[in-house]
Structure 1
């Protein structure tokens, strides 16, 4: 089991609650950046530590460099949230989240699509392989 999995799992419930609160207030149909700002503010109001788009160390063979990673919200270094406002979550959205989770060594990720009538119908949970074993 990943050492951060239990905490990430607990935080995922709070993150979903924060997303529902934002969606209840703003509804569907807005652009992603509006939801991201509101979601981050809701986390702050709840006393949850988060950051976004931080540099990450990338290693490839004998090359190591830092690159700003354009993830949406990382909660307490263990739960990665990708916020979308799209018609449909596509396989590339899942692949992007998984790539970010691997680079950041984050055991759990959520994709929340705010462009839905009911947010809970369009939340997708992803586990880093081996995280919950």
Structure 2
């Protein structure tokens, strides 16, 4: 099992609760950036440590470099959030989250699509391969 999996798993429930609170207050149909700012504020109010717009480091065979890859939110250095406000979450959105998780060795991630009228229908949970075993 990934050493951060249990911590990330426990936090994921709190983060989903915070996202539901944002969605209840703001509704659907706004830009992703607005949901990001609101979620960061909600996480702060709930005492959940998080950073947004974090640069994702890339390494290839000992060569480390920075590309313009920025993840939306990382919660307590163990859970990545990919925030969306789109009609349909595409496989590419989930693949992007999984790529960030792999590059940063983060065991768990959530795609949260605020476009959904009922937010729970817009949440996808992604687990890094083998992290929960």
| TM value normalised by structure 1 | 0.95
CA change 1:55–1:116 in 2 (3 A) is closer
- 2:26 is the alignment partner of 1:23: no
- Contact in 2 for aligned 1:53/1:69 (Cα 8 Å): no
Match of 2:81 in 1: 81
**Structure 1 CA distance for aligned equivalents of residues 54 and 31 of structure 2:** 22
Cα deviation digits, residues 13-39 of structure 1 (max 9, x gap): 000000000000000111100000000
Is 1:50 aligned with 2:50? yes
Moved over 4 A (4+): none
Q: Which digits, 9 at most, give the CA deviation of each residue in 1:37-82, with x for residues without a partner?
A: 0000000000111112233432113422234531111000000011
Give the number of aligned pairs.
133
Query: Alignment RMSD, CA only?
Result: 1.2
> Using a 3 Å threshold, how does the CA distance of structure 1 residues 62 and 2 change in structure 2: closer, same or farther?
closer
Q: How does 1:1-133 map to 2 (within 5 A)?
A: 1-67=1-67, 69-133=69-133
**Alpha carbons of structure 1 residues 85 and 37: separation in structure 2 relative to 1, 3 Å:** same
Matches of 1:40 and 1:116, distance apart in 2? 20
Q: Which has the larger share of strand?
A: 2
User: What stretches of structure 2 of length at least 5 have no aligned partner?
Assistant: none
Contact 2:56 2:71 in 1 (8 A): no
Contact 1:53 1:68 in 2 (8 A): no
